[in-house]
Chain A
């Protein structure tokens, strides 16, 4: 009789290793680092494509300090040296980049040939990385440590473009496999991957031969936690040192000392359908614009973690506010009374449905009748692009992968734009955008993009609601976190615990 419990106990012992297979493996503390402690980071977006540098995972790689390109963006949005020490424009279509002395994480040297090969691979990726969308680019090694990059059409913003995480430089080893590009141990940044656990965790060590010196942290233990509350909880329980993208609803649960907010280039706007429905009439659009009080969103919905909408570009682009021109050619408001409209938005960010409901109230006060439609983003987009709604509330990063402020105007508000939610096709706007696209000088290009912004706002096709701020939870003992408005950096040389 008493053998039964014992047998059960034995069975339990035998089952135990089986069961541990069903738990996620903990990346744990990889010890052996001589100095500096490891950083634990909770990231919001798990790798979607196995850390391929050509998609969204590119940003992840650059945020963890794994990859770098020839250039990078500074806080003012200008291109500054990274792997390239300097550059010059040879002709309309051709640029020369002088490389610095640097090494890949696999020990090989960063040579013009390797860089040219890496860039060439990026141009052949399918689908091509976003920064190269619609651009024909060739790269070849030139003499004395230089790389020549040529484009089919004149490209005045090429140095900005090359700052894109999608154009990171990897060693030949990264391309060894036929159908996948691997950044594990093949990049040039201050940290290198040592272990990747599916889409749940990754372990990184410091790359000691980094050209910019040794990083202060000896390594990074990254975890991917998609749920915002769970990420915040990880920081509160001390399981992580840095928690990325704390949701607004959870910000209040963090101590003031450990939550940092940074202005981002993300703007939440109301985009009005200019092609069909009631908002085809500029007067009705003007009435909608006048009905909206942007401060209610920044304070009431985003709890102060946003700035009231001023234009398409927010305060994260430090140069924008001074150069802002008054919108031109706005229509007189009218025709709101009794007009029924459908406003669509998505719930991937919980603030958006809330903003839409506040918007509904504001529009209804002005006499509109509003119907809301809230869906998951992928269920909404094709209908929105097809103009099935009268208006869409959408959050958009105004600084796309190209690093060029004009890109967002071209894709979102011109006749040929690929992401034209307001379905706007306006000659004045197209002309202003085309003018801005042709200018090389950074300051003048910024002036021209502000003029184009004024032209877009003049049509009232878009009503900027708020410019979002991103909240990063940073543990009290951590210093040197990169709070990057372009969201391309997080952990860097000086980040430590």
Chain B
């Protein structure tokens, strides 16, 4: 055991080294001439004459080969010198450090927004839980599911145009002081917070149903304290994901940095990746990897501080929902709406251009209006559904399987997921394209290669707690083997929340797939793939909001279906009967200040579920 633990830092170092080598070999992997991309990045209109290319090559010393370049860069790094940019010739270290500072600040702002958002999302559950009125309530959260699917560039465009320009309340661009932080932090923090809030909200009922909460309530401990302890009980399971957000927001806020003109690390590494400015790209990646290691370590430390003794002593109880959340008809409603939109769209022609009817507002003839080339947006949304959903579902499923399997092996996967998560999405795309070629499956591979990380982090965090539960000790004591424990105890406890998490991330996967389009990977125009629809209509977000809102709305609907379906589906007809049965079981209508007697059925429910 200790041997394995000792190997973890080594494994982490190997991974970081492999990543840096991959970045250093990028042009040679993808067989693009760095001299050409560097020349074009310096001067887009320069003709690539052999003499000009030769001059760049000799200036950068490219002829010495990638290994020599990498070696000398690493050598310089030991002396604290990350080299000079291939484009501008300026020193890399100060540029990367400055961009990192900007990005960290932006990330801190976004996290503050995210924490507030997550708090708002969980407020209802905490409020009800503190009053022991949770049992039997269907989980809410359609709103947060919708919010969590909002693409950050859309929020950013809308905020910049409406709050920044039209209302003039806050500066719409630049990065000169605290008031410049508000809009970018909102655009990044709202979806992140909604997602974290959803995950937390998913676990809280379990915590409120634990015996200690019951005992505390019976002892007359104030609801607020119980709620606080319930939070403390649940937050460790989310901390790894929180850490991932920290890193993801630092290196991956490219769209927001562009819209608000923020000189952050995301933009810097994107430019460096496109221009193959390797010293900058390597330094940026290294900074992110180090940040990821620090954030991961910190998350583990805080988790240990919060539930450490209980983990060590195996004294936790399982965070099952006390009662399986009551199935609702909501997924049917949302799903029906989604299907209706798709069916209506499928009956129309998504490719017919009419440049005389561009950016037409919604009308009876074209309910979702037209896009910049006069195409019917409804038709495009409908026809894009199949491609988008099939691919996104397949990638999500693969990420889920990979995430769970690797989540079972935390020592192996911990450093791996820290490293993978630190790679900006575009760089991941380039690396995968370099290794696998730019085939049809490359974008799916590239996205799956990154998308497993949050699921895996979630899985291993939940597993760690689940392994420390008392009922597991009991089962072990009865002579259960490891495989039996895994199959009958651990997986059944861990899988449902992770599945709901994976569903929640489905729209994000669809967007990530589309974001690789500009590398020549993935869907190409005029395909009506949803991510592509969002991207191509984004410049017109202010003049023709319907053209972006329609694809964003269907993605949000997809998210809503995913979240509500996680709690089970109920046919409206059958449900009514069941509810009448329940009301016979003497469950009084819940009031905010219900009497202790009213809590009785809830407690029996808990006991039955154990």
Contact = CB atoms under 8 A, between A and B. Distances in A.
B32 A382 contact: yes
A357 interface: yes
Interface in A291-313: 296, 299-301
A50 B524 contact: no
Contact of B102 (A24, A127, A233): A24
B41 to A, nearest CB: 6
Interface in A386-402: 397, 400
Contacts of A358: 353, 355, 373
A198 B524 contact: no
Contact of A300 (B55, B175, B259, B356): B356
A50 B88 contact: yes
Q: How large is the interface on A (under 10, 10 to 19, 20 to 34, 35 or more residues)?
A: 35 or more
A23 B37 CA distance: 30
A375 B519 contact: yes
B9 interface: no
A128 B41 CA distance: 16
Interface string B214-226: 0000000000000
Interface string B38-82: 011111111111111101101100000000000000000000000
Contacts of B373: 300-301, 354, 357-358
A400 B49 CA distance: 14
A152 interface: no
A182 to B, nearest CB: 12
A48 interface: yes
A227 interface: yes
Given A24-B102, A127-B56, A230 B175 contact: no
B479 interface: no
A216 B370 CA distance: 47
Contacts of A56: 42-46
Contacts of B43: 48, 55-56, 130
A347 B535 CA distance: 11
Interface string A186-228: 0000000000001110000000000000000000000001111
Q: How large is the interface on B (under 10, 10 to 19, 20 to 34, 35 or more residues)?
A: 35 or more
Nearest to B518: A376
A445 B540 CA distance: 44
Contact of B47 (A130, A198, A227, A239): A130
Nearest to B521: A375
A21 interface: yes
Interface in A369-415: 372-382, 385, 397, 400, 411
B180 interface: yes
B353 A361 contact: yes
Interface stretch (B165-173, B392-400, B576-584): B165-173
A360 B351 CA distance: 10
B335 interface: no
Contacts of A347: 518
B369 to A, nearest CB: 16
Interface of B: 32-33, 36-37, 39-53, 55-56, 58-59, 87-90, 95, 98, 101-102, 104-105, 157, 160-161, 164-165, 168, 171-177, 180, 258-263, 274-275, 351, 353, 355-356, 358, 372-374, 517-520, 524-526, 536, 539-540, 542-543
22 contacts: A20-B177, A22-B105, A23-B176, A128-B55, A130-B43, A225-B261, A227-B261, A229-B160, A237-B173, A300-B355, A301-B373, A350-B536, A354-B536, A372-B525, A374-B518, A374-B520, A377-B44, A379-B519, A381-B48, A382-B32, A385-B48, A400-B47
Interface of A: 19-26, 47-50, 55-56, 126-128, 130, 133-134, 179-180, 198-200, 225-230, 233-234, 236-237, 239, 247, 249-250, 252-253, 296, 299-301, 347, 350, 353-354, 356-358, 360-361, 372-382, 385, 397, 400, 411, 418-419
Given A127-B46, A237-B171, A356-B525, 6 more contacts: A21-B101, A48-B43, A50-B88, A229-B157, A354-B372, A375-B518
